Structure 1
Amino acid sequence: MRAVIAEDSVLLRVGLVKVLEMAGFEVAAEVGDGEALLTAVERHRPELALIDVRMPPGFTDEGVRAALVIRRQWPDTAVVLLSQYVEERYAADLLTANTSGIGYLLKQRVADVEEFIAAVRRVTAGGTALDPQVVAQLLLRRDSDPLQWLTPRERDVLGLMAEGRSNAGIAEALVVSDSAVAKHINNIFAKLDLPAADADHRRVLAVLRFLGALPN
């Protein structure tokens, strides 16, 4: 699989190249700004774009804006955003635009190579991966909507869903049975008043509600 990396820090960019190559990716291009990123994606049509949130010239949201363009024009390219700080609105922006093949991770997560590679592979396969610190901050800010009706265990389950964990992954993290996880998820759907649909679609809607990207 091909990947394109957009990161203005040369040192981090070199590290990301090595990590992706360890995971079996071919790094087709490595660039330092959003404009060069879009050119590289158009040329190489990679399966993955790994993008710094803040890049030249303004060091604000250049990476996010480039990612949104990629999701519109080349939807088969999975996108993982890397950020120095928790800025959850960017995760919500991306999930609102497209609900598969999206990741938002803090740069410190790269240091845990095994976990980082697992997240990248999950996103490339069409899943999502949200940094646990983003999830934790979102939980603290969602006190005046239907999420307040969730039990502590249901909030734990929803947080792990937002990270992109499968039912089996949630069960392993919480040390409970798969059937217990399924029961908690059904309770979450009911309490958030999500319409009956296929399970994967309702999971996405629940995460969007969690992120504040859907109205209550």
Structure 2
Amino acid sequence: MRVIVAEDSALMREGLVRLLGDAGHEVLDGIGDGDALLVAVGEHRPDLVLVDVRMPPTHTDEGRRAALTIRREHPGTAVLVLSQYVERRLARELLDDDEGGVGYLLKDRVADVGDFLDAIARVAAGGTALDPEVVRRLLARTAPDPLATLTARERDVLAAMAEGFTNAAIAAHLHVSASAVEKHVNAVFDKLLLAPGEGYNRRVLAILRHLDP
């Protein structure tokens, strides 16, 4: 996989470059600001970009703007946001195009290198990888709350769907049968007035758009 790392912290950037290199990925560039990231993406056309939200010079939304520009101008490049903060608007905008190949993970909550590398692979392959806290923020609503109609198990299944799990993965994760998961998924769609899509990316994005327009 061909990757560009955009992170203003030199220690964090070099750590990610080494980690990805050791995992067999080709790191095309390590960048510390949003403008340089856009230039590098245009030049190298990577498979995936790892980008922080707040980067120089203002440390406000340079990474956010760069990520959205990449999604718009280079749709073949997957984008994985790796940030200390949940930028709810950015998460919603990244997911809004229904194309997949996006992720949003929180730095402080990445506890396992293997899981992190799996998330990168999933996003590069056109899937999604969302930190549960990002999902929680996206699903948070003021009254009336559509989630109030869901049972506890249906909430668990919905959260797993939004994290990008397939039905089989949800069954293993929750230690239930595949048929039980299918039943809960259908109940979620029925209660939230959502029709099932062709793959887990489509249904995740539909749920997020419906609950957080």
Q: Same fold (TM over 0.5)?
A: yes
Q: How does 1:103-122 map to 2 (within 5 A)?
A: 103-122=103-122
| Distance in 2 separating the partners of 1:53 and 1:62 | 7
User: Does 1:16 pair with 2:16?
Assistant: yes
Q: Note the C-alpha offset of 1:22.
A: 2.8
1:128 — aligned with what? 128
TM-score (structure 2 length as normaliser) = 0.92
Paired residue secondary structure (2:96): helix
TM-score (structure 1 length as normaliser) = 0.90
Alignment RMSD, CA only?
1.8
User: Does 1:179 pair with 2:179?
Assistant: yes
| Distance in 2 separating the partners of 1:182 and 1:144 | 26
Q: Note the C-alpha offset of 1:149.
A: 1.2
| Distance in 1 separating the partners of 2:72 and 2:206 | 20
| Distance in 2 separating the partners of 1:20 and 1:110 | 15
Q: How does 1:130-145 map to 2 (within 5 A)?
A: 130-139=130-139, 141=141, 144-145=144-145
When residues 83 and 142 of structure 1 are mapped into structure 2, their CA distance, relative to the original with a 3 A threshold, is: farther
Q: Note the C-alpha offset of 1:151.
A: 1.3
Q: Cα deviations across residues 66-89 of structure 1 (Å, max 9, x unaligned)?
A: 011101111010000011123332
Alignment coverage as a number of residue pairs: 212
Verify the 8 A CA contact 1:189 1:202 in the aligned structure 2: no
Q: Note the C-alpha offset of 1:138.
A: 4.2
Which segments of 5 or more consecutive residues in structure 2 lack a partner in the other structure?
none
Q: Note the C-alpha offset of 1:133.
A: 2.1
Paired residue secondary structure (2:184): helix
| Distance in 2 separating the partners of 1:96 and 1:88 | 12
Verify the 8 A CA contact 1:4 1:46 in the aligned structure 2: yes
Paired residue secondary structure (1:147): helix
Percent identity reads 57
Verify the 8 A CA contact 2:164 2:204 in the aligned structure 1: no
* Amino acid in structure 1 at the alignment position of 2:205: V
Q: Cα deviations across residues 49-97 of structure 1 (Å, max 9, x unaligned)?
A: 0000100111111111101110111101000001112333221111013
Verify the 8 A CA contact 1:146 1:192 in the aligned structure 2: yes
Q: Note the C-alpha offset of 1:162.
A: 1.1
User: Does 1:87 pair with 2:110?
Assistant: no
Q: Note the C-alpha offset of 1:136.
A: 3.5
| Distance in 1 separating the partners of 2:138 and 2:194 | 20
